[in-house]
């Protein structure tokens, strides 16, 4: 079949196998060039002897989780396990990008002598945790690091009850400018506030409970190494997005995640372990593209950060997280709330002031002024395997072959 992008309400329904392969390859190549030639001098060289050797990534097939898997394997030579939910390809339907990414990554890792396995099942389920535990026991012994990088719209618990996460303000209606990525026109979006049950459900899905379940279960099974670390990803962003993000339902879930890190630090004392939340930069991923206002903010942010040579993608952020925060051989720098910050470039005064200036130039009913909407659109296409000059998208291919 000829595979073309099909987008419904900012969600891509298709993925291109050859493009996903290139997207994973490009990330691996960037890391390799960095190690061999130190090609991007914005980043320090890693102290690879401190890096973990056995790593579990929950949500490791796309975005920040995939980048974590690539950095762990390609920099630290770690064996890795991924847990993610994917759709397999059929003769007439493409797989999810995560399925293609995982296939390509695992093939690469194995040809380089690394173990790389996946459990493509619901991370919230107890049965998935049990399956992962027996895989760890059989192939890895113990794990040194667990990265928790889930972004999920729903969670079904063991009683069969399904909870849904929503991205809504709390208390008051929120009205702000956003951009229609298909037309480039700026419009006003109004989002109604969440009710109490929506707040609680979002915390249930995206808060710290499931992260805590993973760690306590694997600890009980004696599968965590001495000095074990676990990291979960969060976002704060500028005040202008607070009503929809940090002070909204998802912000409540992120607060819960941060509280869980504090509790996990106590739980992990028996293995001299530690738990961290890393606050990362706003980036185009499958999860972030559906948040109201975020496409406009990201388009403006990308313009500013690219102009200042501060732009990063997931792979660069995670490379910095591992080599300049987590595994330096010295103590990990934390903010006043005990969090790791790799959103420092995004949140610097020079970047935020320039974004603010651009934001105030936008008006309803007009085309976006001065933003990098093209950058947003291209990156969204690329994470689904589209938009690469090297690929002939009119070619008839079998979506099952990669």
3 state DSSP class of 155: strand
Among 14, 94, 234, 323, binds ligand NAD (CB under 6 A): 234
Question: Hey, which residues between 265 and 304 contact ligand NAD (CB under 6 A)?
Answer: 280, 282-283, 285-288
3 state DSSP class of 364: coil
Q: 156 or 172: whose CB is closer to ligand NAD?
A: 156
Q: 98 or 295: whose CB is closer to ligand NAD?
A: 98
Query: Rule CB under 6 A: is residue 152 a binding residue for ligand NAD?
Result: yes
For the CB of residue 395, give the shortest distance to ligand NAD in the complex, in Å: 27
> Angle 58-222-121 (CA atoms, 0-180°, nearest 5)?
25
10: left (phi over 0), alpha (psi -120 to 50) or beta: left
Enter the DSSP assignment of 229. Answer: E
Q: 225 or 287: whose CB is closer to ligand NAD?
A: 287
Q: Which stretch binds ligand NAD (CB under 6 A): 54-62, 196-204, 220-228, 363-371?
A: 54-62
Q: Which stretch binds ligand NAD (CB under 6 A): 12-20, 121-129, 135-143, 361-369?
A: 121-129
Q: In angstroms, rounded to a whole number, what is the distance separating the alpha carbons of residues 39 and 350?
A: 25
Q: Which stretch binds ligand NAD (CB under 6 A): 18-26, 77-85, 258-266, 385-393?
A: 77-85
Who's near 27: CB < 8 A, 6+ residues apart? Answer: 66, 67, 70, 314, 315
Q: 19 or 60: whose CB is closer to ligand NAD?
A: 60
Ordered DSSP codes for 60-93: -SSHHHHHHHHHHHHTT--EEEEE---PPP-SSS
Q: 225 or 289: whose CB is closer to ligand NAD?
A: 289
Among 17, 52, 59, 292, binds ligand NAD (CB under 6 A): 59
E-state strands within 149-256: 154-156, 162-164, 174-179, 186-191, 224-234
For the CB of residue 210, give the shortest distance to ligand NAD in the complex, in Å: 9
For the CB of residue 59, give the shortest distance to ligand NAD in the complex, in Å: 3
Burial 85-113, CB ≥16 within 10 A → b, else e: bbeebeeeebbbbbbbbbbbbbebbeeee
For the CB of residue 62, give the shortest distance to ligand NAD in the complex, in Å: 4
Who's near 301: CB < 8 A, 6+ residues apart? Answer: 282, 346, 351, 355
Query: Residue 220 is inside which H or E element, if any?
Result: helix 209-220
For the CB of residue 383, give the shortest distance to ligand NAD in the complex, in Å: 7
CA-nearest of 262, 313, 255, 267 to 288 is: 313
Q: Which stretch binds ligand NAD (CB under 6 A): 9-17, 68-76, 215-223, 231-239?
A: 231-239
Residues involved in catalysis: 245
3 state DSSP class of 232: strand
Q: 118 or 198: whose CB is closer to ligand NAD?
A: 118
Query: Rule CB under 6 A: is residue 23 a binding residue for ligand NAD?
Result: no
Exposed, middle or buried by CB within 10 Å (0-12, 13-18, 19+), for 77? middle
For the CB of residue 225, give the shortest distance to ligand NAD in the complex, in Å: 23
Among 233, 345, 376, 386, binds ligand NAD (CB under 6 A): 233
Q: 235 or 319: whose CB is closer to ligand NAD?
A: 235
For the CB of residue 173, give the shortest distance to ligand NAD in the complex, in Å: 24
3 state DSSP class of 148: strand
Residue with smallest beta-carbon separation from ligand NAD = 63
- What distances in angstroms separate CA 68 from CA 60, 64, 158, one per listed residue? 7, 6, 29
Among 78, 95, 133, 151, binds ligand NAD (CB under 6 A): 151
Q: 148 or 327: whose CB is closer to ligand NAD?
A: 148
Q: In angstroms, rounded to a whole number, what is the distance separating the alpha carbons of residues 324 and 222?
A: 29
For the CB of residue 102, give the shortest distance to ligand NAD in the complex, in Å: 9
Q: Which residues bind ligand NAD (CB under 6 A)?
A: 59-65, 83-85, 98, 122-124, 149-152, 233-235, 280, 282-283, 285-288
């Amino acid at each position: 079949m000829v595979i073309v992008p099909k987008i419904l309400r900012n969600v891509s329904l298709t993925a291109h196998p050859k493009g996903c392969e290139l997207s994973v390859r490009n990330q691996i190549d960037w890391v390799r060039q960095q190690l061999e030639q130190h090609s991007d001098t914005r980043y320090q060289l890693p102290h690879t002897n401190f890096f973990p050797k056995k790593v579990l990534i929950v949500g490791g097939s796309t975005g920040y989780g995939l980048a974590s898997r690539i950095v762990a394997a390609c920099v630290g030579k770690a064996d890795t396990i991924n847990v993610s939910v994917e759709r397999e390809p059929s003769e007439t339907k493409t797989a999810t990008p995560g399925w293609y990414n995982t296939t390509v990554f695992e093939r690469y890792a194995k040809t380089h002598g690394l173990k790389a396995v996946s459990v493509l099942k619901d991370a919230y389920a107890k049965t998935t945790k049990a399956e992962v535990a027996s895989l760890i026991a059989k192939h890895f012994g113990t794990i040194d690091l667990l990265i928790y990088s889930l972004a999920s719209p729903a969670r079904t618990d063991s009683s069969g009850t399904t909870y849904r996460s929503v991205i809504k303000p709390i208390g008051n209606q929120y009205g702000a400018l956003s951009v229609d990525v298909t037309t480039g026109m700026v419009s006003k979006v109004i989002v109604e506030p969440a009710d109490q049950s929506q707040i609680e459900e979002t915390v249930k899905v995206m808060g710290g409970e499931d992260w805590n379940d993973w760690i306590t279960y694997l600890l009980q099974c004696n599968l965590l190494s001495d000095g074990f670390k676990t990291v979960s990803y969060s976002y704060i962003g500028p005040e202008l997005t607070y009503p929809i993000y940090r002070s909204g339902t998802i912000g409540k879930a992120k607060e819960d995640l941060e509280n869980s890190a504090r509790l996990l630090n106590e739980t992990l004392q028996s293995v001299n372990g530690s738990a961290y939340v890393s606050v990362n930069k706003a980036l185009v991923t499958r999860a972030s593209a559906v948040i109201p206002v975020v496409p406009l903010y990201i388009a403006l942010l990308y313009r500013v950060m690219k102009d200042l040579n501060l732009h990063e993608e997931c792979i660069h952020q995670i490379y910095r997280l591992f080599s300049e925060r987590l595994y330096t051989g010295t103590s990990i720098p934390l903010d006043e709330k005990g969090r790791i910050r790799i959103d420092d470039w995004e949140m610097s005064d020079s970047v935020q002031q320039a974004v603010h200036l651009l934001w105030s130039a936008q008006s309803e009913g007009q085309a976006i002024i001065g933003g990098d909407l093209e950058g947003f659109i291209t990156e969204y296409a690329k994470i689904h395997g589209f938009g690469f000059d090297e690929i002939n998208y009119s070619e008839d291919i079998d979506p099952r072959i990669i």
